[in-house]
Chains A and B, each alone.
Chain A
Amino acid sequence: MNHIVCFAYVPDTETKIKVAADGVSIDEADVKWIVSPYDEYALEEALKTKEATGGTVTALTFGPARADTGLRECLARGADEAVRIASDGLGQVDSLGVARLLAGVIKTLPHDVVWMGNKGVGTDAQVLVPMLAELLDLPHVNLVTKLEWKDGAIVAHREIEGAEEIVEMSLPGVIGATKGLNEPRYASLKGIMAAKKKVIAVKTPADAGVEPATIAGPAAHVRWTKLELPPARQAVKLIPGDDPAKAATELLNLLKNEAKVL
């Protein structure tokens, strides 16, 4: 089977976010970039499946040249090919635009399973799995925590509010991974060395069959108009904890009468 793993290259989860001078994007100075943790689960599952049943794994991302470091990380862990759709000069592209670019390139590659995490930890729209499936005319299952392979199909466990759904899906299809599916591996030294020699294929929107003017600028349907940090919270009201019963009673009274949340 041929696997394509899409990933977002996002600020490290340790990063303190600062707003850039334009007021709609983050200040990228001092930001360390990583493959989004959820996409790592997708990559790991694709690699495990390839190791068990054969085939290839292609890592695919949309972004600027720095994302090549993320692609090399995927290669070092065991991906066979790496493809980047260059975002240079496009400006704001909404989720549908990203889905159209990814789908356009995926259509040019052999694919039995398209993978990604259920969300990035960047812009967090959590819409790409269903959008990509729709544009590729494939079924999908998202929020997958456990997978079993059957002939030409999968059985997936999917995390929903307060329950778990068991989903049967025929292949080809799109799978959205979430935490719990596996423990992603680290790259081996041998893998890191081998990855350095591999060529990253850089594609343009035209390669994806997408005219930039149809996804960027006024063509983007959802636009960011202002990025802000959350408002500062009031200073904490501390209750002495040396008498637990007294502290508990005081806290509950405050929650009921002052904060009015009980």
Chain B
Amino acid sequence: MSNVLVFIEQRDGKIRKSSLEALTLGNSLSKKTSGALGAVIAGSGISGLAPELAAYGASRVFVADKPDLALFSSEGYTAALDAAATAFNPSIVLASATAMGRDVAPRFAARRGVSVLSDVMSLDVANGRITGERPVYSGKARVAVTAAESAAIQVATPRPNVFPASKADAPGAGEVVNLDLGTLTIRAKVVKIQAAEAGEIDVAEADKIVTGGRGIKGPESWPVLRALCTELGAALGASRAAVDAGWIGHEHQVGQTGKVVSPSLYIACGVSGAIQHLAGMGSSKVIVAINKDPEAPIFKVATYGIVGDLFQILPAMTEAAKKLKA
């Protein structure tokens, strides 16, 4: 019997979907280890979130609720995870591989003297040991990783948007345990969050991505891509060529020096498909390539391809998507 503890991330009092994915994964692991599923959440004025976590199977919800924790601090939120782990004694700890999870999980792991199975795209447990697979060399290869016997506590960060989030067949008890963290020493602290443009979906969390490359010719073409994004509920991506040309910010970049993504649908528009780009999106479930050059390497990884003028095809796709919804 070994317990599974999942770090839950909230923003503005709303639990992030990636955390519910991690909790769903934690629930399935805890069944295999015959252990209990716990969740830990930090913030201010957030104790009302426990029932939602119970619905995903959490039998205990550890809550660190204090004004100091209203905005993220690696030290404060790690203290919450550490206190919950001391109380719950898990053998497996999960946090989604988001900016926050990638901050808290390694700090916690180093405090406990262990390493992290980072950014895993699959995760299972056998004989009490977790094993997973993760991309390396920015997606050019994948490696099977395992937590060794020597690791008393096993920490993993599942990649967002890869594991499903679904409510448990049998809800957990959701017993709330308030954590007393005492006086916190916080030397690095978020003082403000500036949201991106309203309605903008981040490529790292997106289920669908529409990406523009050099072939879109300039920043004046983004509205053509954005219109399709809006119809499909997709995030807007960009190739390195488009970012380096100054057409859009780096947060949109997909590829080896941008974000490594694995959405269910990736539509590459005017992207030639440099090795660095293919590394970053090659694990997408379905890839669509739209390019006027039939020899472009992007067609080698694409599921579907249209050789043609993206300035005619994209508006036609936007129209077709509207009809499909109607």
Residues of A within 8 A of B (CB): 11, 13-17, 19, 24, 26, 37-38, 94-97, 99, 121-131, 133-135, 138-143, 145, 158-170, 173, 178-180, 218-230, 233-234, 236-242, 244-245, 247-249, 251-252, 254-256, 259, 261-262
Instruction: Give chain B residues whose Cβ lies under 8 Å from the Cβ of A233.
Output: 282, 287, 300-303
Q: Please give 8 more A-B residue pairs, beta carbons under 8 A apart, in addition to A127-B105, A251-B288.
A: A13-B275, A26-B137, A124-B260, A130-B105, A131-B109, A134-B107, A222-B117, A241-B307
Contact, CB under 8 Å: B148 / A127:
no
With CB as the reference atom, state the residue of chain A lying closest to B11: A163
Contact, CB under 8 Å: A225 / B146: yes
Residues A96 and B109 in contact in the complex (CB < 8 Å), given A124-B119, A125-B119, A163-B193: yes
B193 touches A236 (CB 8 A): no
| B187 and A139 contacting across the interface, CB-CB below 8 Å | yes
* Whole-angstrom CA separation of A251 from B265 in the bound complex: 12
Measured between beta carbons, the chain A residues less than 8 angstroms from B104 are 130
Docked CA distance A166–B71 (Å)? 10
Across-interface contacts of B109 in A (CB, < 8 A) = 96, 127, 131
Does chain A have a CB within 8 A of B170? no
Tell me how far the C-beta of B266 lies from the nearest C-beta in chain A, rounded to whole angstroms: 10
Segment touching A, from B32-40, B56-64, B218-226, B318-326: B318-326
Contact A179–B191 (Cβ < 8 Å): no
Chain B's interface size range is 35 or more
Identify which of residues 160-216 in chain B touch chain A, using a CB-to-CB cut-off of 8 Å: 160, 186-196, 200-202, 204-205, 208
Is the pair B257, A37 in contact by a Cβ cutoff of 8 Å?
A: yes
**9 A-B contacts, Cβ less than 8 Å apart?**
A11-B137, A19-B141, A165-B71, A166-B190, A173-B187, A218-B149, A223-B146, A248-B313, A251-B304
* A121 cross-chain contacts in B, Cβ below 8 A: 137-138, 256-257
Residue of B nearest to A242 (CB): B308
A252 contacts B194, C-beta separation under 8 Å: no
The 5 closest A-B pairs by CB, nearest first: A241-B308, A139-B187, A248-B316, A139-B188, A127-B106
CB of B136 within 8 Å of the partner chain: yes
